[in-house]
Amino acid sequence: MLNVKQLTIWVTLLVGVTFSCTPDDQPGSQPDNFDRKAMLSHWADDFIIPGYENYHQKLLNLKASAQDFVSSPTVASHTKLYADFTEAYHAWQWVSKFDIGPAERIGLHHFTNIYPADTTGIENAVQSQNYNLKLPSTFVQQGFPALDYLLAGKGNAQATAALFNSNSSYGDYLLNLVTRQQMLTKEVLDEWKNTYRNAFVENDGSSATASVNKMANDYVFHHEKELRAGKIGIPAGVFSGSTLPHTIEAFYSDTLAKSLFLESLEAHRKFFAGEGFEGNPSGNSFKAYLDYLGVQKDGKNLSDKILDQFEVARISAEGLPDNFADAVTNQRQDMLGTYDELQKNVVMLKVDMLQALNVKVDYVDADGD
């Protein structure tokens, strides 16, 4: 039998082993001389602000065609409106992950893209014409998921035009949603341009609230929760055991979800690699930072492994059926395969990258109740 002293020795030994097991090559534990400010400037000037400019322009287009459709609901005006809706939805994928500064403060993401939509709540709001879109309970009654329902969930273009003709409450609600979305985005864009850009770039330290730390968390969070879980894992039933086809993004548009997924994946890849938004200059981003620190994994640059994995995930997703509802129902294994490829990058980004950058994860999995 072990006595207490022997036990203490044992435990001490084991603890010793434990510590010697932990990687001691964490470069982030010492301050490095990587130019964080240049990285923040690149993010703000070449990616985030142009991304919001583009998204806001698409919302202005959407608003104009919504006004045309509501004043004259026809198949033609619906077609134009729906095209502008899909363009804006794609543009959103480029800025969705920047839940920081003004976007975080006003809850832009929550008011823009929480799905599935609450269609009962939307119908009640339309019929009663009594609603307050600022309330958290209406997150699921506005934004793109609600537009998707109103434009694609009420039948084909002809049926939808007929509905909007016969009941003006739908048009009122649609215009309220689109206008609100555009105004909220304008507020975020203006603040980025006027004041927040400099505050963001100047906050170049390494504390938990520094811009690099917050952005790294936002990026990793979005990759894990939105790209991996929201767009693929939840509908494929990874967390529920059975498939949940109604939870796919843009549920009422047959093939939009896949295209939005690929857009978001590309937005993640480009941001990581340091490419600029649509022709804007390249600069330093996570890849450059990891390379500067010389971070290796399995004998290769971690940054290259992450970029390779983005490509593997893209190829996996390209192979899925264009209609994600079909994919979930008929090719669940393939969808789970895509999920697994995304998960590999979750590990490399959330564990390997954040550890190397000495950034502490600032979110926990919600407790679910």
Partner 1 sequence: MRKFWIPLSLGAIVLMGTTACEKDDDSDKDNQNNVIAPATYTFERDGSSTVSYSGQTERLAMGGELSSAFKNTTKSETDLMHMYANEDASGNNVDPFSDPALNASSKSLRSKTAASFAYFSSNASESAAIKEDFENWITLQVNEVFPAWSQAAAAGVPGQIADGSSARYVNAQGLEYDQAFLKSLMGACIADQMLNNYLDEGVLDGGNNREENDNGTTVDGKSYTNMEHKWDEAYGYLFGGAANGADPLATLGNDDAFLNKYLGRVNGDADFAGIAEEIYNALKLGRAAIVAKNYTVRDQQADIVRAKISEMLAIRAVYYLQAGKNAINNGNMGTAFHDLSEGYGFIYSLRFTHNPETGNPYFSATEVSGFLGSLMAGGANGFWDLTPATIDQISNTIAGRFNFTVAQAAN
Q: Among residues 18 and 33, whose Cβ is nearest to partner 1?
A: 18
| Rounded least distance, CB 207 to partner 1, Å | 12
Q: Among residues 254 and 362, whose Cβ is nearest to partner 1?
A: 362
Number of H helices, E strands in the chain: 18, 2
| Rounded least distance, CB 104 to partner 1, Å | 9
296 pairs with which residues across the strands? 301
Tokens of 237: 């039933």
Q: Among residues 33 and 130, whose Cβ is nearest to partner 1?
A: 130
Give the three-state DSSP class for 72: coil
Does residue 73 have a cis peptide bond before it, meaning omega lies within 30 degrees of 0?
no
Contact call for residues 113 and 143 (beta carbons, < 8 A) = yes
Q: Among residues 22 and 333, whose Cβ is nearest to partner 1?
A: 22
| Rounded least distance, CB 31 to partner 1, Å | 23
Neighbouring C-alpha atoms within 13 Å toward the C-beta of 217: 19
Q: Residues in the chain, how many?
A: 369
Residue with tokens 């985030």: 48
Q: Among residues 104 and 340, whose Cβ is nearest to partner 1?
A: 104
| CA separation, residue 85 to residues 81, 155, 164, 207, 283 (Å) | 6, 16, 17, 39, 31
| Rounded least distance, CB 155 to partner 1, Å | 28
Q: Among residues 21 and 30, whose Cβ is nearest to partner 1?
A: 21
Instruction: Give contact residues for partner 1 (rule: CB under 8 A).
Output: 1-2, 7, 10-11, 14-15, 17-18, 21-23, 107, 110, 114, 132, 134-137, 139-140, 351, 362, 364, 366-367, 369
| Rounded least distance, CB 4 to partner 1, Å | 9
| Rounded least distance, CB 258 to partner 1, Å | 23
Euclidean distance between CA atoms 90 and 235, whole angstroms: 20
Residue with tokens 């039933």: 237
